[in-house]
Structure 1
Amino acid sequence: MISINGRFLGQPLTGVQRFALELTKALDRRIGSGDLPEALSRARWRLLAPPDVPETGEFRHIALERFGPFSGHLWEQTSLARRAAGDLLVGFGGSGPLLHRRQLVVIHDVTIFRHPEAFSRAYRTTHKLLGFGLTRTARIATVSRFSRGELSAVFGVEPDRIPVIYNATDHFSGLAPDDTILPRLGLEDANFLFMLGTLKPNKNVDFAIRAFDALGKRGWKLVIAGALDRGGVFKAAAPANAENLIFTGRLTDAEIVALERRARAFVFPSLYEGFGIPPLEAMTQGCPVLAADIPAVREACGDAALYFDPRDHGSLEDAMRRIMDAGTDVLGLTEKGRANLARFSWDQSAASLLSVLSEMSAQRR
């Protein structure tokens, strides 16, 4: 029996949960087609979830089982541990029952160690303990070669023992845009740059706003999507050109797609990432990408982005100015982005995961 930790089904859909959902869907398709390694060809699959997780019709070949009196970490350490005893257990969200010895857990990054200020003390304590515990009792995987090196450095695990299972964005490429977002934001005829933001310090939103403001480009707008409080973004005085900033709040994927199709560029100023999905999502819509020159983003974007130093305002100002002054995509970033996307797909990632699970299954025999 192969059981998947389905706790992610009850969580808000951010990057980690998207990874879990899309990879489980890709596994479901492979199970349905019989495209599995021989060691797993007769395995039964199930998705184990807390009782408060809603019913879903997403999966045809992986049975959803909801059970237990708890939720969250307590559910994982008690109800899930008991139900999955003896199974090969797979967790996509960086956590799982510490005493389960036959388990693969994907840990996406070590942001809590590199940028602890982005998390509450309780969150840091819990996830540090989980990380150190799971790296001693379970097999771990991650989402980039960069994160593999980080996990090895922090937890003392040999890098060769940490498989890489990439994120992907093909789920995003087929979305229909909700173009009604453009008139609602007053962007029908506007020139604008687009970015997604949160208030976590490593996301570096204030830095990007300062660089844009310094350009003083009247008529241009910077559109920032996400759960941002405008008053809470700025660490100092408000920018001089605040009227050129548009804070949208949370948007649907269809609304984001519409904005990426019309934006002159997508700006990704993050200081630290385990992989970096948003730039790749923008590439699926033909949107040129301006990206922070950090290792994980370089690994994800290759030569398909215009890079800048995420600690040097002048570097981002120069990148923005090149896009604004060009008028067209003279750098060929759109075509480079499309070519770069061919390196990633959920089906390829599912194949990588199945290879690891096949190896683990064989070790039991």
Structure 2
Amino acid sequence: MTTTRPKLAFVSPYEHFGAMSGARKRIENLCIALSDDNVKVSCLSPWKIDADVDHIPYSLEGNFFVKFWNVLRLNWLLWRLKPEVVISESPFAPLPFGRYRLFHMIHDAKFVTAHGRSKRKIARMVHWVSARISDGLITVSLSEKNRLLEALHLPVDHILVSYNGVSSAWLEMDRTDRTPLCYDLIFVSNFARHKGHINLLRAIRGTSFSVVFVGADFGEREQCKKAAIDWSLDVTFMQDLSEEELIRIYDQSRVFVFPSNLEGFGMPYLEARARGLPVVANDIPVFNELQQIVGGHIVDFSNSDQVRSRLMEAMMLTKEVPDLDVFKWSEIATDLLMETRK
């Protein structure tokens, strides 16, 4: 007797400026974990995944007419695929007409904050409609769920929380006490205004901390480079690292800093803890949530004296890895499949 493989489709239609964003990293890891678990996975995206996944090139980048055509085309593509479950990041929800269970994925509700784009009111309205067309909404933390409940006026049980995770490489790659420590502080994030790079540099003015920034430029890197020069700070800039190279940079650093003003989750927080680094993070809801689970230090990054004090305390700590079983992608993928097929 043969068992029919579950069929699930992800719609992830954005390029992310060619960078490995947290949203893209989540979809890639879920696709890999689900395909390893004998699920037939399709991914509609502009980038391809190196896994046993049916990849269909699909994008919502471009002008209004291109986007409008591709919104219509999405319904046709999903009709051909005939999945049981669709998890879509598109703000314009496809119309399932009872053919499949549809879940609207929101990684962070930037559109309801001051960090959103100029058309955030339109985005809020579109997400409001899509959330009601869908069978449910998925987000990545309890903090983000609370923000969405308030912004979109949804019932509590309409939003499913599915945490982000870390791949096995972060937990299994050899660690050694003999790894040379080249940097006092590490921050891994693309250079966008709300990420808080400048706030960190301002907080450590007048110190001798060595810092490494890893991330692609979303418009703020040159300003950070200028600030580092003007304030005589020891800052190294890196990007386009492989996962193994990135892990090695974590291992060569003493403390992970996370000055961001807005995150839906914040995967680098987990990556740092997976390599045993103490974390000093900004006082925002999701970091308080993660701190309760995996540890770390929370501080208001607008208070430079407090930041420097916390950093000095963290520098004295030894590296220690907490229990991260709940953040394994295999567990997250299994739970997500079970919840979306109910």
5 Å-filtered alignment, 1:265-304, equals 265-302=255-292, 304=295
Between the two proteins, the alignment pairs up a number of residues equal to: 318
Q: Which residue of 1 aligns with 2:322?
A: 338
Aligned counterpart in structure 2 of residue 20 of structure 1, from 27, 34, 46:
27
| RMSD (Å), alpha carbons | 3.1
Q: Deviations over 1:3-38 (max 9, x none)?
A: 413445966421001111111211112226xxxxxx
Deviation at 1:58, TM superposition (A): 0.3
Deviation at 1:196, TM superposition (A): 1.8
* Moved >4 Å (runs of 4+): 8-11, 70-76, 174-177, 234-239
Aligned counterpart in structure 2 of residue 233 of structure 1, from 224, 228, 232:
224
1:205 aligns with 2:235: no
Q: Deviations over 1:86-111 (max 9, x none)?
A: 64342253545343354112211211
Q: Which residue of 2 aligns with 1:132?
A: 128
Query: For residues 290 and 213 of structure 1, what CA distance do their matches in structure 2 show?
Result: 17
Q: Which amino acid aligns with 1:80?
A: L
Q: Which residue of 1 aligns with 2:151?
A: 154
Q: Which amino acid aligns with 1:66?
A: I
5 Å-filtered alignment, 1:163-242, equals 163-173=160-170, 190-214=182-206, 216-217=207-208, 220-228=209-217, 230-233=221-224, 239-242=230-233
Q: Which residue of 1 aligns with 2:10?
A: 5
Query: For residues 190 and 41 of structure 2, what CA distance do their matches in structure 1 show?
Result: 34
Worse overlay, 228-237 or 314-323: 228-237
SS of corresponding position for 2:289: helix
Worse overlay, 74-83 or 16-25: 74-83
1:58 aligns with 2:51: yes
Contact 1:270 1:292 in 2 (8 A): yes
5 Å-filtered alignment, 1:57-76, equals 57-59=50-52, 62=53, 64=54, 66=56, 72=61, 73-74=67-68, 76=70
Q: Which residue of 2 aligns with 1:306?
A: 297
SS of corresponding position for 2:191: coil
Contact 2:108 2:144 in 1 (8 A): yes
Deviation at 1:272, TM superposition (A): 1.6
SS of corresponding position for 2:137: strand
SS of corresponding position for 2:103: strand
Q: What's the % identity of the aligned pairs?
A: 21
Q: Which residue of 2 aligns with 1:116?
A: 115
Greater share of residues in helix: 1
Pair 1:300–1:92, CA change in 2 (3 A): farther
Q: Which amino acid aligns with 2:270?
A: L
Deviation at 1:74, TM superposition (A): 4.5
Query: For residues 57 and 269 of structure 1, what CA distance do their matches in structure 2 show?
Result: 32
Q: Which amino acid aligns with 2:305?
A: G
Contact 1:279 1:301 in 2 (8 A): no
Query: For residues 240 and 326 of structure 2, what CA distance do their matches in structure 1 show?
Result: 29
- For normalisation by structure 1, the TM-score amounts to 0.76
Deviation at 1:2, TM superposition (A): 3.4
Q: Which residue of 2 aligns with 1:78?
A: 72
Contact 2:191 2:197 in 1 (8 A): yes
SS of corresponding position for 1:213: coil
Unpaired runs of 5+ residues, structure 1, are 33-44, 178-186, 360-365
Query: For residues 67 and 322 of structure 1, what CA distance do their matches in structure 2 show?
Result: 48
SS of corresponding position for 2:256: strand
Pair 1:266–1:4, CA change in 2 (3 A): same
Q: Which amino acid aligns with 2:256?
A: F
